[in-house]
C-alpha cells in the first residue's frame, strides 16, 4: 500500500517499504485467457494461506480477482517513474520477497533515483532476532530526510 499511496500522492516526501509484497507483480504479463482462472485460484489459495481472509468485506477469491484485474497498474515496476524523485528505503529479509523488492530498487535507480537505500537482513518475515537492526536502519534513514 505504501508504494501505491506514494505514487498517487506527490506530497509524500519519501517511501519506505519492509518486505513488501508486489501483488500486481505476481501476475505474469500477457497470461493466456485459458490460464487466468487457474491463476486466480492459485492467488486465492495463497491469500487464504497468508491470512488475508479477515480483511473487512474481502474474501481471498475477491482479492485474487481484484489483483488480477489491476495487475499492471498495481505492479511496483509500473510505479518507478512516478517515485523516481523521492528517497526510498527498501528493506528485505529471507521471506521470499527479496527478488521483487530488489527489482523495484533497480527500477527506481534506472529511472534516475539516486536516493535509493537498500538493506537485507538475514531473518524471517517477522524480522525475528533482527528487530533492533531493523529499527536502527529505519531511524537512521529517516534522519537523512530533509
Q: What is the pLDDT of residues 86-108, one digit of tens each?
A: 999 999 999 999 999 999 999 99
Provide the grid cell at 13.
Answer: 516526501
Please report which confidence band the pLDDT of residue 54 belongs to, taking 50, 70 and 90 as the band edges.
low
Radius of gyration of the chain from its Cα atoms, rounded to whole angstroms: 16
> Which pTM does this prediction carry?
0.85
Q: What residue ranges in 11-145 does DSSP mark as E strands?
A: 15-18, 88-92, 116-120
Residue range 52-71: mean pLDDT, rounded: 81
Report the alpha-carbon distance of residue 65 to residue 80 in Å, rounded.
Answer: 24
pLDDT of residue 24: 85
Domain locations in the chain as residue ranges:
2-20+30-144
Contact 6, 12 (CB under 8 A): yes
Of 1-5, 29-33, 43-47, 75-79, give the lowest mean pLDDT range: 29-33
Please report which confidence band the pLDDT of residue 66 belongs to, taking 50, 70 and 90 as the band edges.
confident
Superfamily of segment(s) 2-20+30-144: Alpha/Beta hydrolase fold, catalytic domain (3.40.50.1820)
Amino acid at each position: 500500500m505504501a508504494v501505491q499511496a506514494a505514487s498517487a500522492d506527490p506530497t509524500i516526501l519519501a517511501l519506505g517499504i519492509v518486505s513488501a509484497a508486489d501483488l500486481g507483480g505476481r501476475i505474469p504479463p500477457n497470461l493466456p485467457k485459458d490460464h487466468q482462472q487457474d491463476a486466480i485460484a492459485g492467488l486465492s489459495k495463497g491469500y487464504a494461506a497468508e491470512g488475508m481472509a479477515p480483511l473487512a468485506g474481502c474474501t481471498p477469491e475477491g482479492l485474487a480477482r481484484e489483483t488480477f484485474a489491476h495487475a499492471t497498474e498495481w505492479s511496483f515496476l509500473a510505479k518507478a517513474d512516478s517515485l523516481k524523485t523521492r528517497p526510498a528505503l527498501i528493506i528485505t529479509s529471507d521471506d521470499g520477497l527479496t527478488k521483487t523488492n530488489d527489482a523495484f530498487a533497480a527500477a527506481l535507480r534506472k529511472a534516475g533515483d539516486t536516493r535509493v537505500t537498500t538493506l537485507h537482513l538475514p531473518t524471517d518475515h517477522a524480522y525475528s532476532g533482527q528487530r533492533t537492526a531493523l529499527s536502527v536502519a529505519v531511524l537512521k534513514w529517516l534522519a537523512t530526510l530533509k
